[in-house]
Amino acid sequence: MAEPPRTTALSRLCWLLLPTVLALCVCELALALLGLGAAEQQVGRGFSRDVSYLLPDPQRAGAWRTQMFQGEEPEISIAPKGDARRVVLFGGSNTARFPGGNLRQFLDAAGPDRWEVVNLGRSGYGSARVLVLFEQALALEPDLVVIYSGHNEFVELGFEMQIEREWGALERPLVTAASKLRTFHALVAAFETGATAPAGRSPVAPERSAFEHDKFRSFQYAQTLRRLQAYEANLDRMCALAHERGVPVLLGTLFSNDLSAPFVSNIDPALGAEARRLAIEGLMRVHAAWPARWKEILPREPPVVLNLGDWEFGDGSGGAAPALRALPEPLAARGPLWADPSKWRARTHELMSAWARFHAGPTPDEREALPKLASELEGVLARVPDHPLAHYLLGLCRLASGEPERARESLELAARYDRAPLKASSLTNEIVRRVAGRHPGVALFDFDELVRARSPDRIVGFELMQDHCHAHADTYLMLMRDLAEIIAREWAASSGARAAAGGRR
Amino acid sequence: MIGSLLRSARAHLWWWLPPFVLTFALLAYLAWKQAHAASNPFTYDLG
């Protein structure tokens, strides 16, 4: 009589795993043979250290290519490192808009060295994702790195909140692991075929900012400061990593549009209901008494944000460009650095016309109304000293009253107290200076000062800026000349230091 | 041989079927969720 089959622990384990693994392997093989299920997007969305955002190019030894744009922009090919000095740029959309070709030309003209510029700036990236990319990009063997990051901390936090809302803590590592399988991507494609597009799933749209705004409506200032601590730690980590590899770092202060309104203003509940009621009533009286000619520049909720398309892809139907403030020398003869008005959209023209009316100065009636408005706002700030919107409106009143120094102070406080700023502030730049000061091999490039010095009354506005944090193309071009000079100078200094260290050895 | 493998598979049904079903169900769930994700944060261009 035959013995019944004996089940050993090993065979049980085999039966536990092998059928599943084999079935997955068969699926993967079949999909690979059919050319289906290739990874179209990395669900880590830049946050995951398990995803490689840079890959060696299989067709050229020593060459690299990025996989970080998810089909929205062409990926970057990086040639094998040659004799040219390699400078790698890191940051968000500002960095992405830095004209790397011009920077290379200016660098080549600045000294005997030949240069190669690799721009790894990516729209929406804040310091957390820049750090992930930075860690991987050191494999490119940069001779120098430039970090211009700090506008996107709360944009990035918004993304994190969104991912957390969509994917639970348990699901996130699972989906990251699953995204390595063709089977997963084939299933996603199959489900997408039948899926109706959810409301939020649309191409780039300015109204998306409303969505972000809602997330932060009740964000408290202590949370804002905590997020900026994380920003400081990320910058520290990047500087330390570069130092370990002996790579000099240029760390930039950030320039912003002082005239763009704070993104989120709210009142700390700890101040009490009465203070809150009185402050809101004061703000409503200011709103009601605000001069009619300047209504368009009053902040809206959600905020209105001009984007690149509003400056570059319109039909110019608004007519000639309005006159804003005169720029200081050497740009005085040049005027605003914006794009040809024949490319503007109508809403760009409307908003710039409103700013032109504001900068042209108040009528006698408006001038008479300004002290009352300022006094009302000071009353609000006596109750809520860190109210961003009140500081902002007070700044505008002071600017209209011909007090640019005091206006600058108020506008700075407005940006500083913004609960979820979409632009850097003096607070951000203090962090940048602090980080640059405490790391060896890190030099500062002061873009904030360079832009401020070229702005009327040192108040940065739409003459140089497209929106809250992005500049006009010619502003970037101007800054690339400055950056090339700074890079050439720092490279010479760090080369001298290395030569001296070599001589001592 | 195939007959013996099938007999063994039947004998071990409760060892391999649950992880098999669970793994593919999990994959399908994650893929379904990814396909219906409310939005892709990379489409923002605010910064």
Q: What is the largest CA-CA distance in chain B?
A: 63
> Residue A79 and residue A62: Cα distance in Å, rounded?
7
- The alpha carbon of residue B20 is apart from the nearest alpha carbon of chain A, in Å, by 5
Question: In chain B, which residue's Cα lies nearest the Cα of A160?
Answer: B41
- Tokens coding A24: 């997955």
**Which token pair is A456?**
């009327």
* Residue A482 tokens, joined: 């400055």
**Residue A107 zone, left/alpha/beta (φ > 0; ψ -120 to 50; rest):** alpha
Question: Which H or E element spans position A348?
Answer: helix A346-359
CA distance B4 to chain A (A): 10
CA closest to B16 among chain A residues: A16
Confidence (pLDDT) at A15: 87
Q: Which DSSP helix (H) or strand (E) runs through B13? A: helix B13-35
Give me the amino acid identity at A8.
T
| Separation in Å, CA of A184 to nearest CA in chain B | 6
3-state class of A209 per DSSP? helix
CB contact under 8 A, A198 and B16: no
CA of A261 vs chain B CAs: smallest distance (Å): 14
Polymer length of chain A: 505
CA–CA dist A423, A470 (Å, integer)? 9
Question: Which chain A positions have a beta carbon within 8 Å of B27's beta carbon?
Answer: 178, 181, 183-184, 187
Better-scored residue on pLDDT, B15 or A482: A482
Strands A77-78 and A64-66 come out as antiparallel
Give me the average pLDDT of each 10-residue run along chain A (505 residues).
62 87 94 81 60 88 88 87 96 95 96 94 91 96 97 87 77 83 88 54 39 80 96 98 96 97 92 93 95 91 80 86 91 87 91 94 95 97 96 97 97 97 96 97 96 97 95 96 95 80 62
Chain B residue numbers with beta carbons less than 8 Å from the beta carbon of A155 are: 44, 46-47
Q: Are A123 and B45 an interchain contact pair (Cβ–Cβ within 8 Å)?
A: yes
The answer, yes or no, to whether the previous bond of A302 is cis (omega within 30 of 0) is: yes
* Cβ-contact A86, A140 below 8 angstroms: yes
Q: Say which DSSP state A341 is in.
A: G
Instruction: Say which residues have a Cβ less than 8 Å from residue A429's Cβ, sequence separation at least 6.
Output: A150, A253, A254, A448
Tell if the CB–CB gap between B12 and A46 is shorter than 8 Å: no
pLDDT number for residue A447 = 97
* pLDDT, tens digit (0-9, with 9 covering 90-100), for A396-416: 999 999 999 999 999 999 999
> Which of these, A111, A154, A115, A149, lies nearest to A130 by C-alpha position?
A149
> Are B44 and A204 within 8 A, CB to CB?
yes
User: A452-465 burial string, b = 16+ CB within 10 Å, else e?
Assistant: bebbbbebbbbbbb
Token pair for A418:
């913004």
Interface test with B, best of A191, A207, A255, A310 (most B CBs within 10 A): A191
Q: Which residue of B has its CA nearest to A170?
A: B30
Predicted confidence at residue A16, as pLDDT, reads: 87
CA B33 to chain A, closest CA, distance in angstroms equals: 8
ipTM > 0.90 for the complex: no
Pair of tokens at residue A489: 């100078």
- Position B47 scores a pLDDT of 31
Beta-carbon contacts of A296 under 8 Å, excluding residues fewer than 6 positions away, are A350, A351, A353, A354
Nearby residues of A306 by Cβ (< 8 Å), 6 or more positions away: A347, A348, A351, A466, A467
The helix (H) or strand (E) run that includes residue A251 is strand A249-252
Task: For residues A347 and A328, give the distance between their C-alpha atoms in angstroms, rounded to a whole number.
Answer: 27
Inter-residue contact A64 to A56 (CB < 8 Å): yes
For B36, which residue in chain A has the nearest alpha carbon? Answer: A195
- Other CB atoms within a 10 A radius of the CB of residue A287 amount to 14
CB contact under 8 A, B30 and A175: yes
Residues A283, A190: Cα–Cα separation, whole Å:
53
Q: From chain A, pick out residues whose CB is under 8 angstroms from the CB of B28.
A: 187
Inter-chain CB proximity A174 and B26 less than 8 Å = yes
Length of chain B: 47
Q: Residue B41's pLDDT is what? A: 39
Compute the distance between CA of residue A481 and CA of residue B14 in angstroms, rounded to an integer: 70
Q: Return the domain boundaries, chain A.
A: 36-260+423-505, 269-417
Instruction: Give the Cα separation of A325 and A336 in Å (integer).
Output: 8
Q: Name which of B15, B19, B31 is nearest A187 (Cβ-Cβ).
A: B31
- Whole-number pLDDT of residue A177: 85
Question: ω into residue A421 within 30 of 0, thus cis?
Answer: no
pLDDT for the residue A43: 44
Please identify, in words, the CATH class of the domain defined by A36-260+423-505.
Answer: alpha beta
d(CA A308, CA B47): 11
CB A497 within 8 A of CB A446: no
Sheet strand arrangement including A442-445: A115-119, A85-91, A144-148, A249-252, A442-445
What was the pLDDT predicted at A202? 38
